[in-house]
Structure 1
Amino acid sequence: MSITTPTPEPAPEDITRGLAELERHLAEQAPPASLVDTIEGETKRVKQLRAEVAEARLLGELQDDPAPLLIDTPKVRKRRLRAGEAARLHQLAQDPTMRAWQAARMRRLLVAGGMVSLALALAWSTAGVQAFAADGADKWSPAWVFAWLVEPFMSLALLVVVGARAYLGTRSQPVESPVLVRIEWLFLALTLGMNAWPYLPWSLATGETFSFSRLVLHILGPIVAVAIVTALPIILAAFSDLDHGRTGTPRTAPSYRANVDTLTARARALIDAGELPADAGAGKIRAALGCGMDPARAVRAALTRDQQAGGAA
């Protein structure tokens, strides 16, 4: 017969220690906190995914809103400012006052350039005229010295005539005088002849060879002067014919043409009555009809066509 040893009762300390070890073991075996069901029944991972979906939907709604596209960037605002400025400048350029001011400024610039070029061209020919006028006189002799004055006093006289025609042309009062034209050509012909004569083949000294380049070099100044004197009145007449009307209507518009026809009929009546010469210039027509210079020129052109048609008949 075996004797059973009774199991001793655990002490209170043993019970406490066992419970602590049991709690620790259960804690180690528990699932992660991210997988523990919350009170609402959703894990943190589900909540995170739900937040991402909500954010994506909100971003999609905001992306469809065109408000950000309506805001101008600094570059767009800069371009818009430049475009607005260009539009205003273009509108200002169409204003009759601005167009008239631009034309007057350009006309003054061209006249000034033409007069300076004319003065330089005449100064260029001074040496050639001096050689012609001195006619072999000794250097620093009275004849040699006074020969230098021939070209300046002719040039000054020519500049007076050309300057007067140019100034009056800028004031829409061109001088249409055959006498002044003949005076201009007389001075230019004298200048050209005196520059060219010493270098022509039959004027060369014995043993001296003819040089075409030297001849061209000496007549270059007078040729430039002739070109300027010829071209300047034509340019000024074209400026005088510019139309700065507010409507921008061409000069051949019906209203303008009707006015010209009326003035032409009045001019024909004055010519028939002997009160206006048949070959009257634009200035006389303007004074007789009391109109502007532009309509007067148009009437002069119409009368010229009538005379040509009558002569052809």
Structure 2
Amino acid sequence: MVVFRRPSAPRAQESTAGRLAREAADAAELRAHQARPEVVALRVERVRAQVDRLCWAGIVLGLGFTMANVQHFAAGGAAVWSLPWLAAWLLDPTVSLVLLAILRAEQVTARYRVRTGPWVRRAKWFTLAATYVMNTWASFAAGSVSGVVLHSVPPLVVFVAAEAVTDLRDKLTEAVSAAFMEADRCAPVSVHERPVRRDRRTSFAEYLKVAQAAWTPGVAVTPSWVREATGCSRGLSSRLAAALTRDLSGDGA
């Protein structure tokens, strides 16, 4: 026997108001997740990695371009493949390796806002100035303006990139700290989050005093270290790390 079934009624379409309400709820949830300090920190870390790769690529390419000029400057009129001609190739790597070592160290110190001594910057500027002079000396001696311009661009780009990348890393670190500070200021205080066995909440100044007492020379001041030393919240630890770093560097009030 053949059974005829009644076709099902068409599915009711979602109303415009309901669809807009659902999309608004989804957008609000997405913005809430994007504003979380952990998400902001992850995005900043990705940007930091991109900035580092691009700057390092430009610096290495610039130093590679200067190597041939420095070798020509050092070799003078030596015959090709002679001992002085071969030894001249060692001059530029000697200077460049020192510069790269300084920049690599600054990459770590800038991340944790640790100040380096004046000799670090002097060494960086000396290596950059030496590279510039050796690249442009022959063009200056020959009176070639185009040669001076051509051989000035790569060393100057390396110099500007070496100075800018350190400041960029410091500002990116500040961006992460600002995200945690904003989250700590805007987040509501729950009853369950209140300190146990305390009559009142610990103030920022009291946390800072505890961190100052716990710090010893050689310890890197980071938010994680501040949390371990004081027991403060994750959001507050970034502010405490920044304040303690300023006090240790002599910039605090």
Which TM-score applies when normalising by structure 1? 0.55
Identity %: 24
CA distance in 2, matches of 1:147, 1:128: 10
**2:104 aligned with 1:163, yes or no?**
yes
Aligned equivalent of 1:259: 204
Measure how far apart 1:177 and its partner are.
1.9
Relative to structure 1, the CA distance from residue 212 to residue 86 in structure 2 (aligned partners, 3 Å threshold; closer, same or farther) is farther
Q: 1:295 aligns with which of 237, 243, 246?
A: 243
**2:180 aligned with 1:245, yes or no?**
yes
User: Secondary structure of 2:45's match?
Assistant: helix
User: Secondary structure of 1:176's match?
Assistant: coil
- Deviation per residue, 1:227-249 (Å, 9 max, x gap): 11111221122122232327536
CA distance in 2, matches of 1:261, 1:118: 45
Identify unmatched segments of 5+ residues in structure 2.
1-11, 186-202, 231-236
Q: 1:223 aligns with which of 131, 138, 156?
A: 156
Identify unmatched segments of 5+ residues in structure 1.
1-69, 205-209, 251-257, 271-275, 307-313
Q: 1:98 aligns with which of 39, 52, 70?
A: 39
8 A contact 2:102–2:124 mirrored in 1: yes
User: Higher relative CO (CA 8 A, sep ≥ 6), structure 1 or 2?
Assistant: 2
CA distance in 2, matches of 1:165, 1:183: 12
**2:58 aligned with 1:117, yes or no?**
yes
Q: 2:128 aligns with which of 175, 188, 198?
A: 188
Aligned equivalent of 1:21: none
CA distance in 2, matches of 1:181, 1:162: 10
8 A contact 2:66–2:155 mirrored in 1: yes
CA distance in 2, matches of 1:246, 1:230: 28
8 A contact 1:283–1:293 mirrored in 2: no
Instruction: State the structure with more CA Rg.
Output: 1
Aligned equivalent of 2:8: none
Question: Alignment length, in residue pairs?
Answer: 210
- Deviation per residue, 1:146-172 (Å, 9 max, x gap): 2122112321221111012113323x2
Measure how far apart 1:217 and its partner are.
0.9
- CA RMSD of superposed structures (Å): 3.9
Measure how far apart 1:221 and its partner are.
1.4
Measure how far apart 1:91 and its partner are.
1.7
Measure how far apart 1:176 and its partner are.
2.0
Relative to structure 1, the CA distance from residue 112 to residue 81 in structure 2 (aligned partners, 3 Å threshold; closer, same or farther) is farther
Aligned equivalent of 1:139: 80
Which deviates more, 138-147 or 84-93? Answer: 84-93
**2:168 aligned with 1:232, yes or no?**
no
Measure how far apart 1:87 and its partner are.
3.5
CA distance in 1, matches of 2:30, 2:59: 36
User: Secondary structure of 1:72's match?
Assistant: coil
Which TM-score applies when normalising by structure 2? 0.67
Aligned equivalent of 1:126: 67
- Deviation per residue, 1:225-270 (Å, 9 max, x gap): 11111112211221222323275367xxxxxxx7369859x98xx9
